[in-house]
Amino acid sequence: MANIIKPPKVLFSLTCVLFLIVSSVVYFSRPQLPPAITINTKGQPTIGYAKARVHVVVFEEPKCSNCRDFTNQIFPSVKKDFIDTNKIRYTVIPVAFLPGSMPAANAALCVYYENPLYPNDDLFFKYLDFMYKHEGSESTDWATPATLLEFAKATSPAIHLKNLQNGIEKETYRVQIEKNTAYGSQLMGGAIVTPTVYVNGIRVSDLSWDNLRKLIVEVLEHEGVL
């Protein structure tokens, strides 16, 4: 019978030690993420992979020109690179603090909650996207019931215009919008700014596509899912 040569125990131990050292170096050499906060997004419009471990949350104001630019210029890249590839969940928390913006924010939630038992995330995002592409400037009073209904009609035949008109007239979701606005102000230290974007509770500083993408990638790497 041939003799079985076993590796020396010392060599095995050294291999384990080297592995642990390399693993530690790799782990601790990763960039340390800034502190994160907890954000309650229950009942807020959300798209993307439901089980994604990375969650992007955006506070947006319908009449905010910076929000319009963010949605028109940056969101398409976020959708292409991270939402459509099932890497993240993406939530919008609509707020209203600019003059005349409440009807628009309320209308967006009316579309979302058209059937309260089955909120329609996709329809909300389509309507919001159309709104940002066709709205007037912050200084004009464009968010009238007639305009919001025209936007809905052009967005999708799935939006029931009579229900939306009724929701606009009754301001069905004013209270929720006001709560969203107060909540955003609380999270931001008392002064709400839009758009404000969080990645797993980490606020994106100096918001741009490059900075947002960089933070998403860093969080994905820490979560081990990129």
Q: How many CB atoms lie within 10 A of CB 39?
A: 17
Token duo for residue 153: 């009609």
In which residue are the tokens 């009807």 written?
103
Residue indicated by tokens 């967005």: 155
The residues, ordered by sequence, that sit 6+ positions from 164 with a Cβ below 8 Å of its Cβ are: 107, 110, 111, 114, 148, 149, 152
The more confidently predicted of residues 214 and 21 is 214
Lowest mean pLDDT among 20-29, 45-54, 107-116, 185-194: 20-29
Q: Which residue has the tokens 């100096």?
A: 206
Instruction: Identify the bridge partners of residue 201 per DSSP, sorted by sequence position.
Output: none
Taking the C-alpha atoms of residue 168 and residue 166, their distance in angstroms, rounded to an integer, is 5
pLDDT at 226 over 60: no
DSSP-H helix ranges across 89-200 = 102-112, 121-134, 145-155, 161-170, 174-187
Q: For residue 40, is it left (φ>0), alpha (ψ between -120 and 50) or beta?
A: beta
Residue 88's Cβ-count burial label (10 Å; 0-12, 13-18, 19+) is buried
pLDDT tens, residue by residue, 163-181: 999 999 999 999 999 999 9
DSSP-derived pairing of the beta strands 88-94 and 54-60: parallel
| Domains of the chain, start order | 46-223 (3.40.30.10)
14, pLDDT greater than 90? no
Q: How many CA atoms lie within 13 A of 89 on its CB side?
A: 17
Q: What is the model's pTM? A: 0.85
